Structure 1
Amino acid sequence: MAKISNGIITGLNVVTLVVALSAIGFSLYFHVGSESACRRVLKMPLLMLGIALLVVSLSGLLGSCCRISAFMWFYLFVLFFLIVGLIAFTIFAIIVTNKGVGRALSNKGVGDHRLGDYSRWLQKYVVNAENWDEIKSCLVGLRLCQSIQAGQAEDFYRQHLTPVQSGCCKPPNYCGFEFQNATFWTVPKAGPAQPDPDCKTWSNDQTKLCFDCESCKGAALENIKREWRLLAIINFCILVFVTTVYSVGCCALRNNKSNGYRKQRPNP
């Protein structure tokens, strides 16, 4: 049983070491060779994750292979706080993406994706100037709006646009703008059909379009909410896995102590 638990911990930490080195490698690649704003955003989180996994995996390998209890204690200590962190983040993700929380705080918004339908924390985190500029640069870099097929107005309205494309790449329908092509709309001589701020925010500049519109921010919040809900499910699966590893690690630590005790016993 001692060899089995130590062998499992060794195997898992070899895999973790490979993941850590891969994360560090991708981070360096994004730092040196990437011009995409989306990829540059991933640079520091990937580097920090890679370094953390590297330290943890090396501690686990030294603790299981070399039977050094101090490193195994450190390994289990980190896993314990990781379990606590995963539980806290999963609960937090469920709370901030709960639609009822946002509606209880505000009943104001625009379009199908009302900003008031989202928690105040999620609005503050995403729609603040610094984060929104990064998201906007990312959307422009991905050429999200240029991927919409050009054609006549009838062809455009028959397309299935994603919520982000609908909210960011064209003016809201209630503005009553005249279609020229997928990303170029003209204001009627009488002006917008409604005096809504989004109608004034729209620009035919391909780097601006409706990226600063409330409808775009609402669509982005809806997308982030769905991703966070998926992340909460993934976190739960990771939590089960890490808890299992923690239990096996406790067995390996107990085996290390037991083996050390037997080695110290004098022969009769």
Structure 2
Amino acid sequence: MAVSNNITACLNFLVLLCTIPIAVTGIWLASRQGEDCARLARWPVAILGALLLLVSLAGFAGAYWNRKGLLACYLFAMAALITLLLALLVFAFAVAHGSGGYPVLGRAYEDYRLEGYSAWLRGYVTDDPRRWEGIRSCVVASDTCRKLAMDQSFIVPEQFYMSHLSPIQSGCCKPPTVCGYAYVSPTVWTSPANPAADPDCAAWSNDPAQLCYGCASCKAGVLGGLREQWRKANVALLVATVALIFVYVIGCSAFRNAQTEDLFRRYKWGNI
């Protein structure tokens, strides 16, 4: 291969490496288990990562064996996929923007309320009753609250108050703090001092099958968990996207140089 073709092949290999974190992030999002029951746009990330991986492999093969047609298709397809990736990144930041978690005086954990999220994200858990019922059933089946109830480290109320609960534990496994319930155990509370402070106060039940699964705070907690997932994914997606665009632009320049070098060689030997 000519020098420019060697450079193009190396750059395409770097593009291939940049696509791996995107594919891995998609697989991580799609395979999350446990209490992570809201699965918003998980498979599109995995599919886009797989397509980027396949296209970058084709680009590397085209550069290595100097297949100009394959390289041209690669450049076009990669540009389209990068555009989709940027759109996905904007979506991911929109999901992670804002927080329904509100600090509570004298508590290490936060309480969660729906108004802290965008109208679009609130609609994900409020607009479709069947979707929410599926998410709710998943949260119940995950045993998140049962595991919290069985935690033996909470001997006195202050130990529970100083614990760092996950969004779903805070929103679904206990009543809102503003209700003024008295702590008995992580999932048993009595004698609300301010039962009219929030509609969720009346929705709370000590029944392990009910708890606050019907509360708006539970929906907010689910969105809080979803936000945490996407915040973690955003880091990998952003770094990989910036690196991918940088290497891709350099790769395009190297491809043009290789084309020019080939044209000059053919002219020199009288082939044109």
Equivalence for 2:120 = 121
Instruction: State the one-letter code of the partner of 1:201.
Output: A
How many Å apart are 1:176 and its aligned residue?
A: 4.5
CA apart distance, 1:230:
5.5
In structure 2, the residue matched to 1:144 is 144
TM-aligned CA deviation for residue 119 of structure 1: 1.3
Letter of the 1:171 counterpart: P
Q: Do the aligned residues in 1 keep the contact of 2:195 with 2:202 (CA within 8 Å)?
A: no
Change (3 A) 1:134 1:234: farther
CA 1:231–1:219: 2 relative to 1, 3 Å: same
**Matched-pair contact (CA < 8 Å) for 1:23–1:47:** yes
> Aligned partner of 1:8: which letter?
L
Shift of 1:39: 8.8
Percent sequence identity is 33
Q: 1:160/1:129 Cα in 2 relative to 1: closer, same or farther (>3 Å)?
A: same
Measured in 1, the distance between the counterparts of 2:97 and 2:28 equals 34
Partner of 1:165: 169
Match of 1:214 among 198, 207, 216: 216
Distance 1:165 1:37, change over 3 A: closer
What is the match of residue 107 of structure 1?
Answer: none
| Shift, 1:165, TM fit | 1.7
Query: RCO (CA 8 Å, sep 6+): is it higher in 1 or 2?
Result: 2
**Per-residue Cα deviation, 1:12-51 (whole angstroms, up to 9, x for no partner):** 426757986x7999899x6xxx986859959845762454
Structure 1 equivalent of residue 10 of structure 2: 7
The answer to whether the 8 Å contact 1:17/1:58 transfers is no
Helix, strand or coil at the partner of 2:112 = coil
Asked if 2 retains the 8 angstrom alpha-carbon contact of 1:97 and 1:118, the reply is: no
CA contact (8 A) 1:37 1:137 kept: no
Structure 1: gaps spanning 5 or more residues: 101-110
Structure 2 residues not aligned, in runs of 5+: 100-109
CA 63–154 in structure 1, closer or farther in 2 if over 3 Å, else same: same
Aligned length: 251
Contact 1:69 1:256 in 2 (8 A): no
Q: What residue is the counterpart of 1:246 in the other structure?
A: 248
Residue in 2 that maps onto 1:181: 185
TM-score by length of 2: 0.68
Give matches, 1:5-154, under 5 Å.
5-13=8-16, 16=19, 38=36, 44-45=43-44, 48-49=47-48, 51-94=50-93, 99=98, 112-127=111-126, 128-145=128-145, 146-147=147-148, 149-150=151-152, 151-154=155-158
Alpha-carbon spacing, 1:45–1:17, altered in 2? closer, same or farther (3 Å): same
**Per the alignment, do residues 125 and 144 of structure 1 end up closer, same or farther by CA in structure 2, a change over 3 Å counting?**
same
Deviation at 1:179, TM superposition (A): 4.0
Deviation at 1:77, TM superposition (A): 1.9
Query: Deviations for 1:130-167, whole angstroms, at most 9, x for unmatched residues?
Result: 55445445544543321352444454334343343222
Q: Is the 8 A contact 1:175 1:199 kept in 2?
A: yes
Counterpart amino acid of residue 147 in structure 1: L
Question: Does structure 1 conserve the Cα–Cα contact (< 8 Å) formed by 2:14 and 2:247?
Answer: no
After TM superposition, the structure 1 stretch with the greater mean CA deviation from structure 2, 192-201 or 40-49, is: 40-49
* Deviation of 1:129 (Å): 3.4
List per-residue Cα deviations over 1:186-227 (Å, max 9, x = no partner).
5x5x99832743233323443542123111222333444455
SS in 2 for 1:147: helix
Contact (CA 8 Å) 2:29, 2:229: kept in 1 or not? Answer: no
What TM-score comes out, normalization by structure 1 length? 0.68
For residues 20 and 168 of structure 2, the distance between their equivalents in structure 1, rounded to whole angstroms, comes to 37
